[in-house]
Amino acid sequence: MASGGYAGQAAPTADLVVTAASDSVSVSQFPTLTRYIIGKTGDSELAVLLMALQLACKATSRACAKAGIANLFGLAGEVNSTGDDQKKLDVLSNDIFIDALQNCGACAVLVSEENEDPIFVNPDKAGRFVVAFDPLDGSSNIDCNVSTGTIFAVYEKLDKKPSSVDDILRTGNDIMVAGYCMYGAATELVITFKGHGVHRFTLDPSLGEFIHTQAHVTLPEGGGKKIYSCNEGNSGNWDSAIKAVVEKYKEGPKPYAARYVGSMVSDVHRTILYGGIYLYPADGKSPNGKLRVLYEGFPMAFIMEQAGGAASCGMFKGKIQRLLDIVPKSIHEKCPVIIGCKRDVDAVLKEYETQGLTK
């Protein structure tokens, strides 16, 4: 073991240096998220933005952990931009992220699930970046203490002109940084910079810092465990290809296991670590899907591809589409989501071809 409590893992880059026991009082060095951000970006303004996001994640984690004793369970009495009932923690977490990002001096435009319109940062505080975020994904699970999370994507403005909605209505290929923070048994932040792999950081409550616990995360070789994750309550409205694929998962002596939390962060996190597939397809009731492009579909697809997986919309608007290639027309636009290991995503797309639905 290297000095300072680092695990002696073979590594092609310094990214693979992770802590062995960060809660030990004898440890003198800590591979924190702050250190990683500063070392990775080479861009002080982007580093400031990401540290503001980190602070907002910590504050939201604290609020989730204390929700019961702080009377933060239950509805706030409002609906959000997409018509969902807002929970008290939805409102609080949204306020936390907006305050952190508006005042960090690095953001020009913010798009939140909870706000109907984009937020244009006052020019005297504005910076070069645009952030789309879902401050508390899976909030329907809050009151029963099931894992929730935050999802975010960061873009750089198109130019130095005054900010406009065009700065965010772009393909997912333009994302610079994407990530999610999961509030569960532990608070874990997963982040990726384009071309630099996927990295896991776990919040150490004793330090108040995210500690680098796994570098260059990839899906298991060959696709990993045979797990499918979807809301089968919607199956009556699915198209024939999705119905056929899910039925095949249940066939044979060793069928796929079904796992569905109902919090996208939790379900996608498990898919990245264990393998399998996550599906929220279009259906007869929701022909454009239900998940939002900018702050759910895009960042999760970006992370999944960076981890060696695949991300598709399946059949969407008459053709098979790679998710990151969509060009959204509005900030709360929705899309179908089919993401996971290439083995399983490719099988879904092949089923569309087999049934002649791609012509």
Helices and strands per DSSP (H, E), number in the chain: 7, 18
**Rounded Cα distance, 348 and 338, in Å:** 8
Instruction: Say if strands 85-87 and 119-120 run parallel, antiparallel, or are unpaired.
Output: unpaired
Is residue 353 among the annotated active site residues? no
Task: Please give the Cα distance from 223 to 17 (Å, whole number).
Answer: 26
346 labelled catalytic: no
Catalytic, 84? Answer yes
Tokens 């706030």, located at residue? 76
Choose, from 50, 89, 92, 113, the residue flagged as catalytic. Answer: 113
Contacts of 58 (CB under 8 A, 6+ apart): 187, 203, 208
202 dihedral zone (left: phi>0; alpha: psi -120 to 50; beta): beta
Distance (Å, rounded) from C-alpha 250 to C-alpha 121?
50
Which residue among the candidates 49, 72, 90, 209 is catalytic per the annotation? 90
Euclidean distance between CA atoms 239 and 242, whole angstroms: 6
- In the chain, the amino acid numbered 1 is M
In this structure, are residues 172 and 312 in contact, taking their beta carbons and an 8 Å threshold?
A: no
Cβ distance 131 to 154 under 8 Å? yes
Tell me which residue of 163, 197, 167, 191 sits closest to 14, measured CA to CA: 197
Which helix (H) or strand (E) is 60 found in, with range?
Answer: helix 44-65
Phi, psi of 122 (to 5 degrees): -50, 130
Identified catalytic residue from 92, 101, 136, 219: 136
- Catalytic annotation on 95? no
Residue 90 is among the residues annotated as catalytic for this protein: yes
Catalytic residue among 84, 95, 99, 333: 84
267 is catalytic: no
Pick the catalytic residue from 49, 110, 134, 188: 134
239 is catalytic: no
**Do 138 and 263 contact (CB within 8 A), yes or no?**
yes
Catalytic residue, candidates 49, 53, 101, 137: 137
User: Catalytic pick from 89, 110, 114, 203?
Assistant: 114
And the tokens for 160? Answer: 């130095």
Which residues are catalytically annotated? 84, 90, 113-114, 134, 136-137, 296
